[in-house]
Amino acid sequence: KFKQKDMTYFFKNK
Amino acid sequence: MFEAKLTEGLILKKIVESIKDIVTDVNIDISPSGISLQAMDSSHVALVSLNLSMDGFEHYRADTNMVLGVSIANLAKVMKLADNNDQITLQADQEATHLKIIFENPKTERTTEFNLNLITIDSEHLAIPETEYSSVVTINSGEFSKICKELFSLSETVQITTNTDYVQFSVEGEVGSGQVRLGHNDSEKKEDQTILEVSESVQQQFAIRYLNMFNKASTLSSFTRLCLHQEQPLVVEFKIDNLGVLKYFLAPKISD
């Protein structure tokens, strides 16, 4: 099965 | 004090239509140099980023930075009041509680005004680093829309593969499997062009449902730019002539 990572995994909080 | 007048109001109407299915409440950032917004969808796998330069407006004034919290669903309802030929003016005072939106049609002398109540949104603001994408594909926006729409009827997921010769969109589902392959095409007819700039091949899978939502923006731009990098989110980019850019980021699907 597939999963998608959260955007915050790729881009850090400002 | 903030005031911005856009002669071609239809562009703003299209932008709101292009993001309303993905994001709900959004902080609009006003600065002396332009308008921007960044918001994630509720599941945090997609992100919308809009940048509009003050240069694209007929009139633009923002004395200081301001944040206007807006319900996009309500903004979309207000935008329905606009005729496609209307000019749109946005106005907000310092410490504003509402955003004034004015639609004017110089030909018919019709003016519509609405004060949209602002809301306080506690949202995360992500720092998106400058990335050198190893594959950039520029493709006719109508064609990309059609490919995604038709493939979605066959599968939930599309695998995008790039190499120096072609970009390939492949699906595998209960119905069967197949792919659409587009080679580099710099024909004289600009709208037929597919431009591949590939330094490193990429292979990633994405949920087509999101791509279909992003493609609502295809009416804003003749071309869609797909920026890919292995292990990084896909960027689906629509340039808005003389005004700015609307970008969507989508996390790749990875095997669990």
| Per-residue pLDDT reduced to its tens digit, B11-66 | 999 999 999 999 999 999 999 999 999 999 999 999 999 999 999 999 999 999 99
B205 at A interface, C-beta within 8 A:
yes
Identify the residue whose tokens are 């950039």: B136
* C-alpha span between B145 and B150 (Å, rounded): 9
pLDDT (mean) for B150-156: 96
Q: List B182's β-bridge partners, or say none.
A: B167
Each residue of B96-106: pLDDT tens digit? 999 999 999 98
Q: What is the mean pLDDT of residues B149-163?
A: 97
What's residue B118's pLDDT? 98
How confident is residue A2, by pLDDT bands cut at 50, 70 and 90?
Answer: confident
Across residues B84-110, what is the average pLDDT?
96
Residue B161 neighbours by CB under 8 Å, 6+ apart: B167, B168, B170, B201, B202, B203
Burial class (CB in 10 A: 0-12, 13-18, 19+), B231: exposed
The answer to whether the Cβ–Cβ distance between A2 and B233 falls below 8 Å is no
Residues of B in contact with A11 (CB under 8 A): 47, 126-129, 249
The answer to whether residues B233 and B214 touch, using CB atoms and an 8 Å cutoff, is no
B40 touches A at CB < 8 Å: yes
A8 CB neighbours in chain B (<8 A) are 44, 124, 126
Tens digit of pLDDT for each residue in B122-151? 887 899 999 999 999 999 999 999 999 999
Q: How many angstroms separate the CA atoms of B39 and B23, rounded?
A: 7
Residue partners of B203: CB distance under 8 A and separation at least 6:
B159, B160, B161, B162, B230
Measured between beta carbons, the chain A residues lying within 8 angstroms of B157 are: 2
Q: Is the pLDDT of residue B2 over 90?
A: yes
pLDDT tier at B191 (50, 70, 90 boundaries)? confident
- Residues B209-227 have a mean pLDDT of 98
Distance from the Cα of A8 to chain B's closest Cα (Å) equals: 7
Contacting B residues, span 94-123, partner chain A, CB-CB under 8 Å = none
Q: How confident is the model at residue B232, as a pLDDT?
A: 94
Q: Is the pLDDT of residue B183 over 90?
A: yes
Average pLDDT (B219-248) is 97
Q: Which pLDDT score is estimated for A1? A: 63
Beta strands in chain B (DSSP E): 2-6, 25-31, 34-40, 46-53, 59-62, 66-71, 87-92, 98-105, 110-117, 126-127, 135-140, 157-162, 166-172, 177-183, 194-198, 202-207, 223-228, 234-240, 244-250, 253-255
Does residue A14 have a pLDDT over 70?
A: no
Lowest mean pLDDT among B39-43, B143-147, B185-189, B245-249: B185-189
pLDDT (average), residues B174-193: 92
Bridge partners (DSSP) listed for residue B98: B117
Contact A7 B254 (CB under 8 A): no
Locate B152 and state its tokens.
């979605």
At B255 the pLDDT is 78
Closest by CA to B237, choosing from B37, B38, B40, B50, is B50
Q: How far is B179 from chain A (nearest CA, A)?
A: 20
Helix, strand or coil, per DSSP, at residue B77:
helix
Confidence band of A13 (pLDDT split at 50, 70, 90): confident
